[in-house]
Each structure stands twice: as structure tokens, then as C-alpha cells.
Amino acid sequence: MKRLLILFSVIFIVGTLHSSTTGEIPKNDSKKTIVLVNPGVFYLKSITYMTDNGIIPAKNIEYLAVFYTKSEVKISAAKAFVRQNNIDYIKFKEVYGDLDKNNIYKTNMCSQDFYDIFKSSDGIIFFGGWDIPPVFYGEKTELTVGIRTPNRHLFELSFLFHLLGGNQDLAYRAFLEEKPYYPVLGICLGMQTMNVATGGDMYQDIPADIYGIKYIEDILKLDPDQQHRNYNKNLYPLDEIDNHSFHHVNITNFDLRKKWKLPLKFNPLVASSHHQAVRVLGKDMVIAATSMDSKVVEALVHKKFPNVIGVQFHPEFYTLHDPDSKKIKFYPMEKELVTEHEILIKNKSYRFHLNFWASFIDSVVNKL
């Protein structure tokens, strides 16, 4: 009997050691780290709102907010927001290095930091922002392009190139070759950066380059599903008009529809705020959703890495999720104000937004 007890004890100890050395830690006992790349205060507010209210449905999530020291999006403002709100699940990291258009698509001074962040995390999000300078994808700059954060773009283009690889250097081994199920989520600018980083390019202005329209009044005559931001704001800047528009998207990828639990033939309503669009696809990028007229790319997925997803719309704005957020209007003469949350509820599209984040967290936690 004593020999049996000793034998079981040895088996238990060996099994425990094997589990710890292979990293097979029970899911409920380990934190999952999601990287937030150059997140401004608005995006931090959105992420924390969703986390605190269970929209991001995970108890063991923590965030690492990574800032490029030369980025125009300042870490000081982000740290102040976290401090003032006593948020204990967001940590910070700064990355130093000299980046320019000649070294972002190759090994550079930030490469080791990119790799260390990737290896020590479970997923990553790239957020919205201003236009990518066309010089970074080899084109001249149209008059409509708004360039305000060039250093941020250098950093994020390089980071995504390191993660995914690209046509700029076909011999480069992408980080995700080591962890193919690592989730990468690009939102609006984040999706555009994903496409450019892998060797694609952009329509620099949707009205001019896709619809052949150069006047705001003419864009406003289009169907709402063809308007990708609220141009009323341009005509009436002093009115409290919402900056973005709402339109439907046609999700054509079967796997995404399954992940997001979309009913058959249902096209969800989404919030949109952009004037540029994916044109030529980057390496291994595949169109997964379009506008209702099929002219504007609304989602991308990756051929090799199943949890790489880019969306042109915004599922993260806290105003979409908060029933008590400010009531707004979209047209100057509008009298009945509504919250953005109400708009999604009325159009039976809020469940889609909840499923979107549940799916992303599932990919972080379970790598499915």
C-alpha cells in the first residue's frame, strides 16, 4: 500500500511538472493579454466601458497599451485617463526607434520590441485614426487626404508587416508563422494599415475615386448605404451633428457570418466614419464584406491566419453600447434625437455587435 501511495505521488508530481513546462495552465487561472496599439483616450474609454460592462466577456483579460515614443498619439494623456479612473487592468509600454518609409518593411530598430510584445501577448488591436500618407504605399497625395499622424503610421505599418509579412519582401518570415491562431484585429484605419502593410494600397477618397463625385451636396443625395461618414458635419460645422454615419454591410464570408452568428441574409447596420477604402489587396488578404453596392471593402480576412480580421466600420465606440450616451442628430433639421445605441436596437443590429466582441475574445482565450 505504501508503495502504491509513493507511485501515485511521483506520477502526480511528474504530471504537474509536465503541465507547467508545456504551458498547459488552466484557462481560468491565467491572464490573457490584449495589446492596444497607440490607443487614444477615446478608444481607451470605449475599451474600458466594454470591459466593465461585460461586452468584452472575459474576467481574465488585461491590456497592454503600447505607444511609439514618436507617435502623435500621446502616452501621457492615456496614462492620465487610466490614473484618474483607477483602472488596474491596463499596463503601458513605450517603444523607441527611428522609423522612416525606407525601413518600415524590413528589420529595424523596433523589430525586437515588436517580437517581444507579440510573444508575450494573446491578441492585438489596431484602432481608427487619420489617413495613411500615400507615400508609404508609393503614390502621390490627393488634395482630400488628411495627414496628421505620420509617425504613428510608420510604427503601425511596420508592426503589422512584422506580424503578417507582405509583398514588399516575400522572403520575410511573418511572426504569425510561429503562432498562426494569434488574433489580430484592425478597426477602420487599422484595417487599412493591415492592407497597406501587406503590400496593398488605397482609394484616397471614396466620393471622388469610387463614385466620381467632388461636391458634398451631391454625396448627400446618395443612398444612406453609400455614405461612409456624415458629410452634413462639413456643411453645418456649428450644429451638434454626429460625425459618423450608419449604413448596412454585406458580409460575404461564410466563416465570419458563422463566428458572428448572423441570421441568413441579414445585413447588420454599422457605424462608419471614413473617406478612404481598400483598393488593391495586400499579400494573402481576402475580401470578407463589402458595402451594399459592393464598391467599398468593409472587412478583410487572411488566407493563412484565421484570426486576422480587419473591419472598416466601428464596433467599438462606447456610444454604440451605452444606453445613456448623448442623444444626437444626423441632419440639421432633425428634431427627434436618439442615442447611437437606440439606432442599433431599432435596426436589430446590436446583437451583432455583442457577437463581434464575444467572437474576438473567444479567439484570444481559445485560439479558435
pLDDT digits (tens, 9 = 90+) for 6-55: 333 433 333 333 333 222 323 345 889 999 999 999 999 999 999 999 99
**Residue 11 falls inside a structural domain:** no
CA–centroid distance for 120 within its chain: 19
> Kindly report the CA angle at 177 between 173 and 183, in degrees rounded to 5?
125
**Residue 20 falls inside a structural domain:** no
Beta carbons within 8 Å of 241's beta carbon, 6+ residues apart: 230, 232, 233, 328, 329, 330, 331, 332
Q: Report how far apart, in Å, the C-alpha atoms of 117 and of each of 108, 109, 113, 309 are.
A: 15, 14, 6, 19
**Residue 193 falls inside a structural domain:** yes
Of all residues in the chain, what percent carry a pLDDT higher than 90?
85
What is the extent of the structural domain holding 180? Answer: 31-366
User: Quick one: average pLDDT of 217-223?
Assistant: 96
Q: Under a CB-based contact definition with an 8 Å cutoff, are residues 31 and 61 in contact?
A: yes
Q: Report how far apart, in Å, the C-alpha atoms of 91 and of each of 87, 110, 178, 343 are.
A: 9, 19, 25, 34
Query: Cα separation of 339 and 236, whole Å?
Result: 20
User: Quick one: average pLDDT of 147-163?
Assistant: 98
- pLDDT above 70 (res 144): yes
Give the CA radius of gyration of the chain: 22
E strand map for 101-236: 123-126, 184-187, 202-203
**Residue 7 falls inside a structural domain:** no
- pLDDT above 80 (res 4): no
User: Quick one: average pLDDT of 150-164?
Assistant: 98
**Residue 10 falls inside a structural domain:** no
Q: φ and ψ at 68, to 5 degrees?
A: -80, 130
Residue 91: its pLDDT value, please? Answer: 98
Average per-residue pLDDT for the chain: 91
Beta carbons within 8 Å of 36's beta carbon, 6+ residues apart: 43, 44, 47, 63, 64, 65, 66, 90, 124, 125, 127
Query: Cα separation of 48 and 89, whole Å?
Result: 9
Residue 150: its pLDDT value, please? Answer: 98
More confident residue, 21 or 257: 257
Structurally, the chain folds into a number of domains equal to 1
More confident residue, 19 or 82: 82
Tens-place pLDDT, residues 304-361: 999 999 999 999 999 999 999 999 998 888 888 999 999 999 999 999 999 999 999 9
E strand map for 118-260: 123-126, 184-187, 202-203, 245-251
* Secondary structure string (H, E, C) spanning 76-136: HHHHHHHHHCCCCCEEEEEECCCCCCCCCCCCCCCHHHHHHHHHCCCEEEECCCCCCCHHH
pTM here?
Answer: 0.91
Q: Which residue has the cell 441568413?
A: 264
Residue 368: its pLDDT value, please? Answer: 66
Report the CATH number that the domain containing residue 228 is assigned in CATH.
Answer: 3.40.50.880
**Residue 19 falls inside a structural domain:** no
- pLDDT above 90 (res 3): no
**Residue 4 falls inside a structural domain:** no
Which of 8-22, 78-92, 195-209, 268-282 is the least confident region?
8-22
**Residue 158 falls inside a structural domain:** yes
C-alpha cell at 139: 503614390
More confident residue, 168 or 2: 168
Tallying the residues shown for the chain, one arrives at: 368
Q: φ and ψ at 241, to 5 degrees?
A: -100, 140
The residue type found at 337 is L
